[in-house]
Amino acid sequence: MKKISKIYVAGHTGLIGSSIKRKLKELSYTQIITKTHRGLDLTSKKKVDRFFSKEKPEFVFLAAAKTGGIQANNAYPADFIYQNLMIQSNVIDAAHKYGAQKLLFLSSSCIYPKNCRQPMKEEHLMTGALEPTNEAYALAKLAGIGMCQSYNKQYGAKFICVVPSNVYGVNDNFSESGHVLASLIRKFHFAKMKSQKVLELWGTGKPRREFLFAENLAEACIKLMNNYDDSKVINVGSGRDTSIKQLAQIIKKITGYKGRIVYDRTKPDGNARRSLDGSKIRSLGWQPTTPLEEGVRKTYLWYMKHVSSDDPELRGGFS
């Protein structure tokens, strides 16, 4: 990418897309194209084609997606598979049709088999059954990878696919339907402000996840856009996994919650462990720079400044 290239960031208001947009600006890219959902419904092929026909972006970061945590994925599988299939199909096809030089598609580590060997290597894809609680979302993301690779094969497109580990950071979704780290930040803050003596969390606390600060992922995505053309997927992770119980203790410390944590073992855990082998991207010279505790602290400070005061459940006084 040149500094004056026309770059479209799809999903720029979300966790990953907003981080990519900020990083591009920091690096002095001057023609960044964005559209809110109100301004452009990416599930509408007609509207997406009209947008690409008019703007003709040279590079596309496809970070737009319907995302959520285990509760949301388990409760609304039809929404997750339909909306994600529509978004990625429309954007990938339009990028090809209207001459984009390159597209980067953001997938998810949940595309790997439930009982995958750890850490998960790119060649482990499609070697076993998916985790049932997020199968619909994973199937949509696998279809997006297949679509990029098919356009590469048939048309010679340069559409690359990135598989990040569990991403967190500023501008995340902190509701009950959000990803585990962000939703835990809200739970602990809520419990502290309400002086709750006990905080109940889903599952056993034993599952292990690899958490990646969104700013670090944005750096990796820009590096890959500039230096990676292989049609094979590439993992991007922090290189270290953490149990949910350990994560809860970190968030408890940072938020200042003084109560007791208990686990509801009747609720699902999801995958026992999900850790990525990041040797491919590290061979390109990328390394994550934000330790988990530092990233959680930055995320909590952002949440306190931008989100907590608008939470309807926290308005009306504290006990």
* pLDDT surpassing 70 at residue 39: yes
Q: Answer yes or no: 29 catalytic.
A: no
Q: Are 239 and 118 in contact (CB under 8 A)?
A: no
Domain ranges of the chain: 6-171+211-240+274-290
Query: How far, in Å, CA of 190 to CA of 312, rounded?
Result: 11
In the CATH hierarchy, which fold is given to the domain comprising 6-171+211-240+274-290? Rossmann fold (3.40.50)
Q: What is the pLDDT of residue 318?
A: 32
Q: Are 257 and 192 in contact (CB under 8 A)?
A: yes
Tally of CB atoms within 10 A around 317? 6
Mean pLDDT of the chain: 94
Q: What is the pLDDT of residue 179?
A: 85
For 230-259, the pLDDT digits (tens) are: 999 999 999 999 999 999 999 999 999 999
Query: How far, in Å, CA of 225 to CA of 306, rounded?
Result: 31
* Sequence-ordered list of residues with C-beta below 8 angstroms from that of 128, at least 6 positions apart, any chain: 113, 114, 115, 116
pLDDT bin (cut points 50, 70, 90) of residue 273 is confident
Which of 140-154, 274-288, 303-317 is the least confident region?
A: 303-317
Query: How far, in Å, CA of 58 to CA of 99, rounded?
Result: 7
- Greatest Cα pair distance, the chain, in angstroms, is 63
Q: What is the pLDDT of residue 316?
A: 39
**Which long-range contacts (C-beta less than 8 Å, at least 24 apart) are formed by 76-85?**
77/135, 77/136, 77/137, 78/136, 80/134, 80/136, 80/137, 80/140, 81/136, 81/137, 81/139, 81/140, 83/43, 84/137, 84/140, 84/141, 84/144, 85/140, 85/143
The helix/strand/coil state of 185 is helix
Q: What is the pLDDT of residue 314?
A: 57
For 87-126, the pLDDT digits (tens) are: 999 999 999 999 999 999 999 999 999 999 999 999 999 9
Query: How far, in Å, CA of 125 to CA of 142, rounded?
Result: 9
* Sequence-ordered list of residues with C-beta below 8 angstroms from that of 234, at least 6 positions apart, any chain: 122, 160, 161, 162, 163, 224, 228, 280, 281
The active-site residue, picked from 8, 29, 112, 137, is 137
Query: pTM score > 0.85 for this model?
Result: yes
Tell me 127's DSSP state: S
DSSP H or E stretch at residue 33: strand 31-33
Q: What is the pLDDT of residue 312?
A: 61
Residue 38 phi, psi dihedral angles, 5° rounding = -65, -35
* pLDDT surpassing 50 at residue 208: yes
Query: How far, in Å, CA of 83 to CA of 76, rounded?
Result: 11
